Structure 1
Amino acid sequence: MSTTVGPALEPAIVKLDPASRRIKWVTAFTLMTLPAIGFAAALYLLWTGQVTAVDWTLFGVMYAVHMAGITIGFHRYLAHKSFKTSRFFEGALMIAGSMGGQGPIMFWVTTHRRHHRFSDHEGDPHSPNLHGPGVLGKLRGLWHAHMPWMLSDETSRWTVFAPDVLRDRRLMFYHRTYLYWLALGLLIPTVVGLVVGGSLMAGFTAFVFGGLARIFVANQAAWCVGSISHMWGGRPFDNGDRSANNWPVAVFTFGEGLQNNHHAFPGSYKHAVRAWEPDLSGWVLTTLGKVRVVWDLRQPDKATIAARRRRSHARTPQA
């Protein structure tokens, strides 16, 4: 690594040296394009009638594991420390999140914490609102926030954004072995398809649906959180940014699309502040709390939420 990025952001963000930038670019580009190829293959298999009930089941199960690993494990547990759990369940969450192909633990946590620190201001790694005025500026920002931000030559300092994770040898083990868990997420559906279907073709279609296409669809949904949910939706809380509650995104991402709520109360294990808001991960955590799989679940009380809402309504609405 070399020079810092602007004195105002020092020492939080640094420019990568050429060799590190190439590694990051190739890795990110590969993990964006290979699942897209798999998704195209899935469409072809659908068109030619070669998809089975096993393939659909594997897609659904692996999607749920993938999304739970990211939303409950990487996000609410690791990035925000919104609950505690056992070493065993922690490991299951870290493995499930790694199967999602969104990058290893330290990349994910440092990027997300940096996003909260600079949300929709200079330094935010994936804001859609910093790319000029007008329709073209919004389109450029939306595209940048969805995928190309991952090809940036910047990186977030581990010692600034995640010193707690860096000190944890157990968590760093999952960081270092990220590629093994990613491969496991592709191997599991393939093996199930081979065993249940009894043929190489059955293994291949299971690999496509439960592996590559699942990663593509789940990550497209997840990346909508940083793009669409920072541009369109409801804003009951004034957070000083453009975070918004977008219900369609929330449904597909198990509650992550409730970005305005989340930015108002980032340490809460729930993203929903009203019972009817779609937050599947929050509901799952509530259930797991009742059976003591997780504990010390953090959330604001009703009085705190109401007070924050009143203060927001008293301010001038954002343009």
Structure 2
Amino acid sequence: MPTRDQQLASASTDHALRFLLLVLVVVPFLGVLAAAALVWRHGLGAVELGSLSAMYALTTAAVTVGFHRLFAHRTFRTGAALRAVLAVAGSMAVQGPVIYWAANHRRHHTHADKPGDPHSPHLYGPEPRRRLRGLVHAHVGWLFNHELTDCARYAPDLLRDPMLTRINRLYFVWVVLGLALPAAAGGLATGGGTGALQGFVWGGLVRIFLLQHTTFSINSVCHVFG
């Protein structure tokens, strides 16, 4: 039985994680607003579209092939180098550390649309108001009110991989790298700070926003209407 101090520490950690999730969802939205302001002032050019397209393609492929098919479902095997690349690039998508993402997805399949599924839209009832509540929960609300997934229960195999646990532990390094790469590319392409800002906003924040809500829509819209 956990002591009161342990319970308080756990609750504090839980609140901190949920606040951090809120930041990681809200900041990309603010980036979309910043992108609109930049387009109004500078127009839409190759730096914006190029950085957005390249980073979106990279991180989408890494989440789909790496986080989903390789780490969560173990549908194929590959060498350590490609595993590392997929884990790092997928972490740049800002959808959570690789091991937690995979564990959470396995939990979803274990309890699909039943109690225990962290983001099912079907657990609130069939009435229109409750269906809407379920849709909002499945899209983004679950991030802030679900019971945190036990990685030791759902992904013990991944926790035994030293390379993957190190990548998992350095999650925020990869988040920053995913913002720095398009900023650096934009700065080099234009030779100035405006290009770096455009790369950061479009290849970083706007890209994160679009990919987040594409993934969220799979949990919500596709599970309700698909």
Q: TM-score range by the shorter chain?
A: over 0.9
Question: 2:49 matched to 1:56?
Answer: yes
The AA in structure 2 aligned to 1:100 is A
Question: 2:25 matched to 1:32?
Answer: yes
What per-residue deviation string (whole Å, max 9, x for no partner) do you get for residues 85-134 of structure 1? 11111111011100000010122011100000001011100001111221
> Aligned partners of 1:90 and 1:154: how far apart in 2?
28
CA RMSD of aligned residues (A): 1.6
User: Given that residues 47 and 198 in structure 2 are in contact (C-alpha distance below 8 angstroms), is that contact kept between their aligned partners in structure 1?
Assistant: no
> Aligned partners of 1:153 and 1:167: how far apart in 2?
26
What per-residue deviation string (whole Å, max 9, x for no partner) do you get for residues 125-177 of structure 1? 00011112211111111111111111125111122100101111111011011
Question: 2:63 matched to 1:74?
Answer: no
Gaps of 5+ in 1: 4-15, 234-319
For residues 212-291 of structure 1, the aligned pairs below 5 Å read: 212-233=205-226
Percent sequence identity over aligned pairs: 38
For the pair shown, the structure with the greater C-alpha radius of gyration is 1
> Aligned partners of 1:103 and 1:94: how far apart in 2?
11
Alignment counterpart, residue 115 of structure 1, candidates 75, 89, 108: 108
The AA in structure 1 aligned to 2:141 is P
> Aligned partners of 1:150 and 1:65: how far apart in 2?
24
What per-residue deviation string (whole Å, max 9, x for no partner) do you get for residues 55-86 of structure 1? 10110010001101111010100001101111
The AA in structure 1 aligned to 2:70 is Y
The AA in structure 2 aligned to 1:105 is V
User: Given that residues 118 and 146 in structure 2 are in contact (C-alpha distance below 8 angstroms), is that contact kept between their aligned partners in structure 1?
Assistant: no
Closer/same/farther in 2, CA of residues 228 and 220 from structure 1, 3 Å limit = same
When normalised by structure 1's length, the TM-score is: 0.67
> Aligned partners of 1:153 and 1:101: how far apart in 2?
18
> Aligned partners of 1:192 and 1:166: how far apart in 2?
34
Gaps of 5+ in 2: 4-8
Between the two proteins, the alignment pairs up a number of residues equal to: 221
1:134 maps to 127
1:95 maps to 88
Closer/same/farther in 2, CA of residues 164 and 17 from structure 1, 3 Å limit = same
The AA in structure 1 aligned to 2:38 is L
Structure with bigger helix share is 2
Aligned-pair distance for 1:49? 3.8
Alignment counterpart, residue 194 of structure 2, candidates 196, 201, 217: 201
> Aligned partners of 1:207 and 1:128: how far apart in 2?
34
Aligned-pair distance for 1:47? 3.0
> Aligned partners of 2:40 and 2:213: how far apart in 1?
22
Larger RCO of the pair (alpha carbons < 8 Å, separation 6+): 2
The AA in structure 1 aligned to 2:178 is G
Alignment counterpart, residue 151 of structure 1, candidates 144, 160, 169: 144
2:175 maps to 182
User: Given that residues 179 and 203 in structure 2 are in contact (C-alpha distance below 8 angstroms), is that contact kept between their aligned partners in structure 1?
Assistant: yes
User: Given that residues 99 and 185 in structure 1 are in contact (C-alpha distance below 8 angstroms), is that contact kept between their aligned partners in structure 2?
Assistant: yes
What per-residue deviation string (whole Å, max 9, x for no partner) do you get for residues 239-293 of structure 1? xxxxxxxxxxxxxxxxxxxxxxxxxxxxxxxxxxxxxxxxxxxxxxxxxxxxxxx
